[in-house]
Amino acid sequence: MHGRDTNPPTGDRPARRPVVVIVGRPNVGKSTLFNRLLGQRSAIVEDVPGTTRDRLQAQMAYANRRFELIDTGGLEPDADEGYSALIREQVTGAVTSADVILLVVDAAAGVTRIDTEIAEMLRRVQTPILLLANKVDNDTRRDAAVEFFELGLGEPMPISAYHDLGLREALERLTDLLPESPPQEAVAELRLAVVGRPNVGKSALVNAILGEDRVIVSEQSGTTRDAVDTGFLYRDRPLILIDTAGIRRRGRIERGVEKYSVMRARQAIERCDVAVLVLDATEKVAAQDLHVAGFVADAYKGMIIAVNKWDLVEDSEESREAFASNVLRRLQFTPWAPLAFVSAKTGLNINGLLDLSLEIGETRSLRVPTSEVNSVLREAVAANPPPSPGRRPLRIKYGTQAEVRPPTFVFFANDASLIHFSYRRYLENFFRRRFGFEGTAIKFEFRSRE
Ligand code: GDP
């Protein structure tokens, strides 16, 4: 027994995700805004019930940026007296924890004394501030919003949280204000392996991905010499495409080609972050696809199932669902892998595939603070305690996220051998749901500790 993992967790590692805090005087619409932002399509990752009663927080992702959104609405006093002190507390709290502050004001009410008071405090801090003039649901109020320039916090953005107006723009501005990710994450290349059976369209897909006017930054044979690695930029992010079909068919290998391609797939998967398992929309899932998905699960990688040649299928909700349910039935070890219906031939959804890859890449880098791991652990155990037929009961004492890429959770129990496979699966699913670990395998380890 040695090393970091056998020591008790000493506390949370610094949370990587930037924090966005909503402040403003009572009744300006902070919680409506909070809920609306969460409701923006594909924005929500997970709801965390407030860890303290005076805050509501949620993990959000927008335009591939993740952040934690906090609503300070709960701090509102009931009575008029004591406003100043409470507002001061709210704002001070926001300033110390926020990377970006959303100051919400009410365009229907105009500038009030408390707005001015808050603005005075905020003008003195370095934290970027986005001034949102809420309740702008007509043109008169749009003009009224301009009045908030006088707060000295830059241009007020007119929004209506209630009517869902201007929120996309606000989110765009907000993500621009988020701090850059730490350097090693910012430059980390995301490695995609394109794998699948012969003739499903791997090389066509690679060409479709690298085609257009993609900026190619590098090209080299993979270390195994059975793949070509191509580096390119997508949405300013460096990606590497590991192309197992890239070594063009070398004549004589046609015999035994299946076996050979499985081997190449396996090597490519070892080196990737996200495997793109290409299927042919006109064919059934084959045994070989199961093997490949099994490698992905064993290697704890991310995976997308790219259903290629979708141009040959009549596209409808039903046809997609039918294909998806067949895939899910066959690929039982990777129920978390999303499908992308694509066509290398027409270019259908190629960007969607890449966006999904980036998202999964980020999910694999998520780090959950130890305190959250343990509160979710307690919740999971309370909802469904481990069965203890006759023998001594299993007690899982605490857990921590030990690694990212893959997300790796270590749990300490009185006797790790008491953990049944199905209970482990239960915990895994519980965590997966709570923390939004979509599209990737996650690793759960249990250790004995008296
Ligand atoms: P690989 O062996 O997986 O690399 O497959 P290829 O890229 O060589 O493609 C096999 C065949 O499928 C070729 O005849 C391609 O033209 C065809 N193909 C690939 N992608 C598509 C697609 O999206 N739609 C259609 N209709 N045909 C495709």
* Euclidean distance between CA atoms 194 and 209, whole angstroms: 11
- Rounded average pLDDT over 349-362: 95
Say what the pLDDT of residue 245 is. Answer: 66
Higher pLDDT, 97 or 259: 97
> Residue 72: its pLDDT value, please?
74
201 lines ligand 1 (CB under 6 A): yes
| CATH class in words for 370-448 | alpha beta
Instruction: Return the domain boundaries, the chain.
Output: 19-177, 190-364, 370-448
Q: Does a cis peptide bond (omega within 30 degrees of 0) precede residue 406?
A: yes
CATH number of 190-364: 3.40.50.300
Residue 78, pLDDT > 80, answer no
Nearest CA to ligand 1 atom 9: 201
Residue 13 CB neighbour total at 10 angstroms = 13
418-422 long-range CB contacts below 8 Å, 24 or more apart? 418/386, 418/388, 418/391, 418/392, 418/393, 418/394, 419/386, 419/394, 419/446, 420/386, 420/387
According to the model, what pLDDT value does residue 222 have? Answer: 47
358 Cα to the center of ligand 1, angstroms: 24
Q: pLDDT value at position 289? A: 93
How far apart are the C-alpha atoms of 274 and 3, rounded to whole Å?
29
Determine what percent of the chain is predicted with pLDDT higher than 90: 46
Return the pLDDT at 247: 47
Dist. CA 355 → ligand 1 center (Å) = 22
Q: Is the CB of 85 inside a 6 Å radius of any atom of ligand 1?
A: no
* Integer CA distances (angstroms), 329 to 200, 288, 310, in order: 20, 15, 20
Token pair listed for 78? 């009931």
CA of 201 to the centre of ligand 1 (A): 3
Kind of pairing between the strands at 408-413 and 396-403 = antiparallel
Matching fold, domains 19-177 and 190-364? yes
Crossing angle for the helix pair 113-123 and 83-97, to the nearest 10 degrees? 30
Nearest protein CA to atom 6 of ligand 1, as residue: 201
Beta bridge partners, 59, equal: 46, 68
Alpha carbon 305 to chain centroid, angstroms? 18
212-254 residue pLDDT tens: 667 777 666 544 456 788 889 898 888 999 988 654 444 444 4
Q: Which of 280, 308, 341 has most ligand 1 atoms within 8 Å of CB, for mutation?
A: 308
Mutate to test the pocket of ligand 1, among 309, 314, 343 (most ligand atoms within 8 A of CB): 309
Could you tell me which CATH class the domain 19-177 is placed in? Answer: alpha beta
Q: Is the CB of 245 under 6 A from ligand 1?
A: yes
The pLDDT of 26-33, averaged and rounded, is 85
Measured in Å, residue 280 CA sits from the centre of ligand 1 at 9
CA–centroid distance, 403 to ligand 1, in Å, is: 38
**Distance (Å, rounded) from C-alpha 89 to C-alpha 350?**
48
Query: Bigger pLDDT: 137 or 193?
Result: 193
Q: Side by side, which strands form the sheet with 408-413?
A: 396-403, 408-413, 443-448
Average pLDDT over residues 172-189: 71
Q: How far apart are the first and last CA of the chain?
A: 14
